[in-house]
Structure 1
Amino acid sequence: MDCEDMIITEEPNLTERKEGGKRGRKPGRKASSEKIDMKAKLERSRQSARECRARKKLRYQYLEELVTDREKAVFALRAELERYKQWSAELDAGRLPEGFQALLEELGMLKQE
């Protein structure tokens, strides 16, 4: 008898689990709250896209400014290199280049300190 009672009590539990354990959307059960949620979701998505585009624009502006600053530094270094090339050519010819004396004095002052 005990075995029969166990079998009988187990069967109703199995049927309850099957009915209550279904997952997923139920067909034909669209509520107005789901439509409102969908509108809110779309608005959040639009807002997120706007923010993403704004971040992207700021990132590109920052990178463009960085490139501009680096280009200015490169031009300044090239000008300095060209000046040193001219000085070396004049020194090889036996002449004292213009501005060279000021550079030597500046370096001499730094060495004395």
Structure 2
Amino acid sequence: MDDSKVVGGKVKKPGKRGRKPAKIDLKAKLERSRQSARECRARKKLRYQYLEELVSSRERAICALREELEMYKQWCMAMDQGKIPSEIKALLTGEEQGKAQQNSTKLAKAGKTEANSSNPW
């Protein structure tokens, strides 16, 4: 018996399915493989550089946060002893001045809005 099948008017022979491998020059194949390996190593190197920069920036941020935490601890210890650090006084007076400026700005805007609403033009 013949194992070939007729499909759509074409005779198919049994065997491997899919694309037939093209006859590629072995040297060209090796060169492509080497080039691919070079590109892979370059990508890997860039990735490691990026990760190292990321780690160093995070470490700097951690150090800055630790210093800030230590500063706040010292402020709390000073306030527990009944002393108000000058930095806190400056922050409080700065906030009060900022609130006063915001209130005056809001009043000025409200005055302009009232003046515009009374003017029909």
Q: TM-score, normalised by structure 1?
A: 0.65
| Residues matched between the structures, number | 90
CA distance in 2, matches of 1:91, 1:71: 30
Q: CA RMSD in A?
A: 2.7
Structure 1 position 81 matched with structure 2 position 69: yes
Q: Higher relative contact order by CA 8 Å / sep ≥ 6: 1 or 2?
A: 1
TM-superposed deviation, 1:109: 4.5
SS of the residue 1:95 aligns to = coil
Q: Match for residue 37 of structure 2?
A: 49
Q: Which has the higher strand share?
A: 2
| AA of the residue aligned to 1:63 | L
Structure 2: stretches of 5+ with no match in the other structure: 5-12, 17-22, 103-121
CA distance in 2, matches of 1:66, 1:96: 38
Structure 1: stretches of 5+ with no match in the other structure: 1-10, 25-33
Q: Which has the higher helix share?
A: 1
CA distance in 1, matches of 2:63, 2:84: 25
CA distance in 1, matches of 2:25, 2:97: 75
**Alignment identity in percent?**
59
Q: TM-score, normalised by structure 2?
A: 0.61
CA distance in 1, matches of 2:99, 2:70: 25
| AA of the residue aligned to 2:57 | D
CA distance in 1, matches of 2:47, 2:94: 42
Structure 1 position 102 matched with structure 2 position 90: yes
